[in-house]
Amino acid sequence: MPFIPHTEDDIQSMLATIGVDTIDDLFDEIDPSLRDVSLDTIPARASEQAVTRLMGERAARDAGGLCFIGAGAYEHHIPAAVWELTTRGEFYSAYTPYQPEASQGTLQVVYEYQTMMTGLTGMDVANASLYDGASALAEAVLMAVRANRKSKASRILMPASVHPFYRQVAHNICANQGITFEAIDYDRTTGRIDTHALERWAGEDVTALVIPQPNFFGVLEEVDTLTDWAQSNGALAIGVVNPLSLAVLKEPGRWGTGEGADIVVGEGQPLGAPLASGGPYFGILCCRKKHVRQMPGRVVGRTQDMDGRNGYVLTLQPREQHIRRSKATSNICTNQGLLVTAATIHMSLLGAQGLENTAATCIANTRSLVAKLTEIDGVESVFDGTAFHETVLRLPADAGAVLNILAERGVFGGLALADFYDGLDNTVLVCATETKTEADLDIYAQALRAVLAEQAEAA
Amino acid sequence: MTEKLIFEYSRPGRRALAQAPAEAPAIDDIPAALRRESPVGLPQASEMDVVRHYTRLSQLNFSIDTHFYPLGSCTMKHNPRACNTLASLPGFLNRHPLAPTSHGQGLLACLYELQEMLTAVTGMEAVSLTPMAGAQGEFTGVAMIKAYHESRGDSARDEILVPDAAHGTNPATAVMCGCKVVEIPTDADGDVDTAALRDAVSERTAGIMLTNPSTLGVFEQDILEIAEIVHGAGGLLYYDGANLNAILGKVRPGDMGFDVIHMNLHKTFSTPHGGGGPGSGAVGVGKRLRDFMPIPVVGRDGEGDGATYRWLTEKDIPHTIGRLSAFMGNSGVLLRAYVYARLLGAEGMTRVAEFATLNSNYLMTRLREAGFDLAFPDRRASHEFIVTLKRQKQQLDVSATDVAKRLLDYGFHAPTIYFPLLVPECFLIEPTESESKETLDAFVDAMIAIWDEAKADATTLKNAPVNLPVRRLDEVAAAKNLDLKHDSATAIGA
């Protein structure tokens, strides 16, 4: 029997010990009308060989393509050691470290992760991770409402330059708690938050301002000004960052002229998680020390054992659902332990220099790609604000149609933005990470040139 | 045996050079005001440093692969290797979440079939795979219940009924969805007190959250009556799938009258627990909630070999409660669950429930015969059961914690302790179907040996563990003197 070790002798002897005749007798407390179940539509079991063949065929259908899509998930080289180590059974098949003496491996990894994350973000404290970047933003919003006791309005200023899916997720998770989101428009020239739109809220009761860096368009926001604006208006500053960018960009702990951002979240995927069609990734959440008791999720602390040796435990558990129940800071139970393990190993291997080289190469490749693509007639950059490793381009044709043709020719040319923003028809968000070579960039440029020429001819 | 921190291996100038671009191209166009001034305090280590360090750290863990792990309510069963290997095929691993679905038909076919299998095995109408963990599945369920009532203009329904034995995530979820929690007591047999339930329901009842079998390790005998009471009052029933392993393919939540369920695929469908995640909390819905499912869901156009698959969005499900993750939940976890489901097939799913229940009842009988007290001695065990060490506490001042820590010395992970909260000195034990009779017998032997030790000299237990990398850790000091990160300035050895 698949994954069940019992021999016929075992079964008989166990039933005899229990004092029943059949396994079915063990279900005799259940109403008989419920026990007549048909599973006709579920296939019979397949052998590992057959399933391997099936999955091989299916994976092959999804393989290939030169990917220039970013938009919140980024193709990076992941050192071979990362997942070799992460999938060791002792990490892979362990549970939440509720018995700390038997879980020092997992706990120490998380402590190291928290140290690395506070280093990257310049914040005081990191938690042990949340589900993904989008849900981490939702949790940061809920946290801000708890932490900003002076604000009564539960009002969050949410710039349009934040990832559209993040905005949706934050709304969907927070909507039932009476929190309102006020949209802040972006500047059509720079692609940054429109500070005039922000001024409308000066002097009002604002709970928090969300500050993306880089923003969804890839553009760098004026984080110092925005952080100061938020804090001088009694609002918390919530940063939404790409952790890789912090190898070269100013850390949120130093944003503004005060003590930096209050809460920082981000998608951890660029640190060692494969693209994998969207998950599992992990959500980063860091904050200043004064907010630590409002922080959701698990956190690991260092302590000592009975003999005075250093060891690690889950701490601050009174915030959590299994202790506080309906008064918990969040219903969250799980963290993304395995992804955090991968990220910690990934950062250990790359080090500060490796991360910086990766980030700078992504920036250089994207600049190079944009230069090649904007040489094509009618292709132009939409915004003039300085970018990190993504840029919005306008095409002289229907972007969705062009991307479909490019995909058929093996180039995933980016994300069309028409569905997400009025006024961004025929625009594409492109990204070239360190995985792309000069030849790859040329392939994209040649393919786009050809497709646009065909489109022009057809028109 | 302990292992120093990775930061303590760090030496200035050391690197694992092969793994990243060799140089940083100039990025002069980024203004200085937006740049980082000092480098990130990450370790500077060689690949071998890193490999050795994390290999050693892994060896400090108990895991399913190394130890019997009878942690109640967590379903620590064997994680078949094929699931990981096949979900990690490059075609799946390297696909961007926003790549066109024309280049994702392999993944989408797997997810569609997984939706169909989970729908059938739970007796629901449809499944959405997007929730990223059990607690997010719970959130999804209650949010859908609220959306349902509101769509009918019945928005005064703001109370969620929760049995007092429920997982902490249940009341926490209800509050996250803007509801009030009403606790329902448990009767002496471990069932929901139906008289109290009748008194609690009203025109304000949005729904009830139930785990069945309950966290007390017994099947709710009055489940059909409970469904009738709650539905009669206009409320809906939410099934917490934490304990689905007990009834998989044997009894279906849809047949019991539940309107929505979440499944912990990391439990019942054997995807890895990973030291605390990733999870996956797929939700199944009945006909009342079908229109409110979270997106994306996988849809199919056409039949047979000509079938194609696509993401269903708000255009297809206009009343959806929306998107709960940036992309498609934990897709990689879903692929592992799919492989597991195919390897089991229909018959194998039913066998999961049967042998989980056989192992649990066998272990319960053996422990009772060895002199341990059961919380519900007159009931069948489900896939798990509760031993109460109240008598041992009174006689020898030995607590559930003491016995748990001593079990670690014997090479067994401890069961869940002090949950559910209503049973004193509680041991919630879940052996799962993948353990052999010999392992269960060895666990009983260890429990007997520990009990003998306690009678001879209770300090043996109070001092436990002694065979682990560290001895008992001071959790009070950890919470009081928060040390949540290493100060690398003082740690870099060179």
Mean pLDDT, to the nearest integer, of A145-149? 96
What torsion do the CA atoms of B448, B451, B456, B461 make, to the nearest 10 degrees?
120
CATH number belonging to domain B82-344: 3.40.640.10
Q: How is A108-158 classified by DSSP, letter by letter? A: HHHHHHHHHHHHHH--SEE-S-BS-HHHHHHHHHHHHHHH-TT--S-EEEE
Rounded distance between C-alpha atoms, residue A124 and residue A120, angstroms:
11
pLDDT for the residue numbered B421: 87
Of A108, A246, A280, the CB nearest to B330: A280
The amino acid at residue A180 is T
pLDDT greater than 90 at residue A325: no
> Tokens standing for A327?
């008064």
Contact B473 A101 (CB under 8 A): yes
Helix (H) or strand (E) holding B408: helix B400-409
Q: Higher confidence at residue B304 or residue A155?
A: A155
Burial of B222 (0-12, 13-18, 19+ CB in 10 A): middle
Residue B233 distance to chain A (closest CA, Å): 23
Chains A & B: contacts with CB separation below 8 Å: 690
B464 confidence band (pLDDT: 50, 70, 90): very high
Q: Give the mean pLDDT of chain B.
A: 95
Contact B99 A248 (CB under 8 A): no
pLDDT for the residue numbered B491: 37
pLDDT for the residue numbered B21: 95
Of A72, A115, A306, the CB nearest to B471: A306
Parse chain B into domains and list their residue ranges: 6-58, 82-344, 351-478
Tell which CATH architecture fits domain B351-478: Alpha-Beta Complex (3.90)
The residue with tokens 């559930």 is B400
> pLDDT tens digits for A434-457?
999 999 999 999 999 999 999 999
Of B25, B100, B275, the CB nearest to A97: B275
Residues contacting residue A458 through CB under 8 Å, at least 6 positions apart = none
CA distances to A215, B363, B478 from A278, in Å: 19, 41, 36
Mean pLDDT, to the nearest integer, of B476-487? 94
The residue with tokens 């079915």 is A24
pLDDT for the residue numbered A36: 87
Q: What is the DSSP letter of A33?
A: G
Of A79, A94, A279, the CB nearest to B273: A94
Span between the terminal Cα atoms of chain A, in Å: 63
Find the closest chain B residue to A142 by CA distance.
B176
User: What does the angle CA A354 – CA A247 – CA A190 come to, to the nearest 5 degrees?
Assistant: 130
> pLDDT tens digits for B254-302?
999 999 999 999 999 999 999 999 999 999 999 999 999 999 999 999 9
pLDDT greater than 80 at residue A321: no
Helix (H, G, I), strand (E, B) or coil at B387: strand
Find the closest chain B residue to A437 by CA distance.
B21
Contact B59 A116 (CB under 8 A): no
The residue with tokens 């799980």 is A334
Contact A274 B93 (CB under 8 A): yes
User: A430 with A393: CB under 8 angstroms?
Assistant: yes
pLDDT for the residue numbered B488: 59
Find the closest chain A residue to B71 by CA distance.
A95
Q: What is the DSSP letter of B412?
A: B
pLDDT greater than 60 at residue B490: no
Q: Give percent of chain A with pLDDT exceeding 90.
A: 94
Mean pLDDT, to the nearest integer, of A419-425? 96
Q: How is A367-406 classified by DSSP, letter by letter? A: HHHHHHHHTSTT-EES--S-BSSEEEEE-SS-HHHHHHHH
pLDDT for the residue numbered B304: 86
CA atoms lying within 13 Å on the CB side of residue B15: 15
**Which domains, from first to last, does chain A contain?**
66-75+351-458 (3.90.1150.10), 80-344 (3.40.640.10)
Contact A62 B168 (CB under 8 A): no
User: Distance of alpha carbon B199 from its chain centroid, rounded?
Assistant: 32
B492 confidence band (pLDDT: 50, 70, 90): very low
CA distances to B403, B427, B446 from B453, in Å: 10, 18, 10
Of B36, B84, B324, the CB nearest to A251: B36
Mean pLDDT, to the nearest integer, of A398-417? 97
Contacts with A51 from chain B: Cβ below 8 Å? 82, 86, 339, 342-343
Of B26, B90, B324, the CB nearest to A173: B324
pLDDT greater than 90 at residue B471: yes
Of A33, A48, A303, the CB nearest to B474: A303
Cβ neighbour number for residue B308 with a 10 Å cutoff: 13
Cβ neighbour number for residue A183 with a 10 Å cutoff: 12
The residue with tokens 């219903």 is A331
Contact with chain A for residue B423, Cβ under 8 A: no
Rounded distance between C-alpha atoms, residue A263 and residue A252, angstroms:
9
Contact B71 A352 (CB under 8 A): no
Q: What are phi and psi of B17, to 5 degrees?
A: -75, -25
pLDDT greater than 50 at residue B348: yes
Nearest to A112 by CA among B479, B61, B50: B50
> pLDDT tens digits for A201-260?
999 999 999 999 999 999 999 999 999 999 999 999 999 999 999 999 999 999 999 999
Parallel, antiparallel, or unpaired for β A427-431 and A390-394? antiparallel
Buried b (16+ CB within 10 A) or exposed e, B403-416: bbbbbbbbebbbbb
Top residue of B55, B327, B330 to mutate, by most chain A CBs within 10 Å, is: B327
Find the closest chain B residue to A98 by CA distance.
B416
Contact with chain A for residue B207, Cβ under 8 A: no
Mean pLDDT, to the nearest integer, of B195-211? 97
Rounded distance between C-alpha atoms, residue A234 and residue A209, angstroms:
10
Residue B20 distance to chain A (closest CA, Å): 5
Residue B461 distance to chain A (closest CA, Å): 14
Contacts with B86 from chain A: Cβ below 8 Å? 51-52, 55-56, 59
User: A185 with A234: CB under 8 angstroms?
Assistant: no
pLDDT for the residue numbered A229: 98
Q: Give the mean pLDDT of chain A.
A: 96
Contact with chain A for residue B94, Cβ under 8 A: yes
Mean pLDDT, to the nearest integer, of B331-353? 98
Top residue of B79, B96, B309 to mutate, by most chain A CBs within 10 Å, is: B96
Rounded distance between C-alpha atoms, residue B205 and residue B18, angstroms:
61
> Tokens standing for B240?
């917490």
Mean pLDDT, to the nearest integer, of B383-403? 96
User: B203 with B171: CB under 8 angstroms?
Assistant: no
Rounded distance between C-alpha atoms, residue A178 and residue A141, angstroms:
12
Contact with chain A for residue B101, Cβ under 8 A: no
B4 confidence band (pLDDT: 50, 70, 90): very high
Q: Give percent of chain B with pLDDT exceeding 70.
A: 99
Contact A48 B221 (CB under 8 A): no
> pLDDT tens digits for B41-90?
999 999 999 999 999 999 999 999 999 999 999 999 999 999 999 999 99
Contact with chain A for residue B370, Cβ under 8 A: no
Helix (H, G, I), strand (E, B) or coil at B150: helix
Residues contacting residue A9 through CB under 8 Å, at least 6 positions apart = none
Of A109, A277, A361, the CB nearest to B97: A277
Q: How is A266-308 classified by DSSP, letter by letter? A: EE-TTTT---GGG-S--EEEEE-GGGGGG--S--EEEEEBTTS
Span between the terminal Cα atoms of chain B, in Å: 24
Contact B58 A249 (CB under 8 A): no
Contact A248 B437 (CB under 8 A): no
pLDDT greater than 50 at residue B493: no
pTM score of the predicted model: 0.97
pLDDT greater than 70 at residue A343: yes
